[in-house]
Amino acid sequence: MFGRMQLSEKITMNLLLLILGAVWVIPMIYLVMYSFEGDGWGNYQAVVSLELFPHFLINSFIVSTSVVLLLLVVVSLAAFGFSKLRFPGDSAVFAICLIGLMIPPVAMLVPLFQTIKSFHWMNTYLSLIGPEVAMSIPFSLLLARNAFDEVPGELLEAAEIDGSNAWGRFVHVMLPLAIPVLTTIGILAFLNSWNQYVLPLVFISKETMLTVTMAPKFFIKEYTSDYHKVFAALVLITIPVVILYIFGQKYMQRGLTSGAIK
């Protein structure tokens, strides 16, 4: 279907990729350079020696890990149901689930605030975990269902003939084959949760419950701001994300292309 690319096409493609890469890399280079201006390594030392910084790291890790685990459980079960278990109105329910892709997260802040307040979840981990899981479900469900659709129905029929029930077919057949896409969903959920800024800003007022994305604001005062330490904090926040992406990029590529070919 696809022929070999000519030399001119390869050069054009590589130039476009180089430009796109520069758009992302150049700001990161400036970020690192500015973080060393002023006190040099002292900027990083000031961030790490911040009294609440360990609390920020622990809170972010707890929230991000909880989001990943809960999202994977919900999405894998829902994708299996929509893909392999037929029930009346399944297409309509699936379409309703995807409506969340069309709603900007900022537009849901007011109803989310009222919901979190009525549940008495303010200044708790649930105020960060619940909304993040809910907002991640539509896209994650779309990826997972496409991947589950690729699994031949004959495998499930063979398992059923061997006496396996629906739960057994899900655990022993579907889950092992869906590891790439579930890994992708987990990585994306962890990155989104770790980088989340708006939810802690709105739902958390207790300093010991803040996440790591709130660390830079401690160097921004009413009349003076030490932006070099702010940049240092941003670099430290980014390091876990970069490391996770480096080790998980091959799974993300496989997971994002699952369901692309029928």
pLDDT digits (tens, 9 = 90+) for 163-194: 888 888 888 888 888 888 898 899 999 999 99
Q: What percent of the chain has pLDDT over 70?
A: 93
Half-sphere exposure of 182 (CA within 13 A, CB side): 19
User: Hey, where are the domains in the chain?
Assistant: 39-256
Residues 90-127 as b/e (b if ≥16 CB within 10 A, e otherwise) read eeeebeebeebeeeeeeeeeeebeeebeeeebbebbbb
The hierarchical CATH code for the domain 39-256 is 1.10.3720.10
User: What is the token pair recorded at 184?
Assistant: 């992708």
* pTM as predicted: 0.87
3 state SS of 97: helix
- CA angle 101/143/88 to nearest 5° reads 80
Cα Rg of the chain (Å, integer) = 22
Of 103-112, 139-148, 149-158, 216-225, minimum mean pLDDT range: 216-225
HEC string for the chain: CCCCCCHHHHHHHHHHHHHHHHHHHHHHHHHHHHHCCCCCHHHHHHHHCCCCHHHHHHHHHHHHHHHHHHHHHHHHHHHHHHHHCCCCCHHHHHHHHHHHHHCCHHHHHHHHHHHHHHCCCCCCCHHHHHHHHHHHHHHHHHHHHHHHHCCCHHHHHHHHHCCCCHHHHHHHHHHHHCHHHHHHHHHHHHHHHHCCCHHHHHHCCCHHHCCHHHHHHHHECCCCECHHHHHHHHHHHHHHHHHHHHHHHHHHHHHHCCCCCC
pLDDT of the residue at 257? 62
Question: In angstroms, rounded to a whole number, what is the distance separating the alpha carbons of residues 159 and 152?
Answer: 12
Average pLDDT, the chain: 87
pLDDT digits (tens, 9 = 90+) for 64-99: 999 999 999 999 999 998 988 878 888 888 988 888
Question: Does pLDDT of 1 surpass 50?
Answer: no
- CA angle 74/183/176 to nearest 5° reads 80
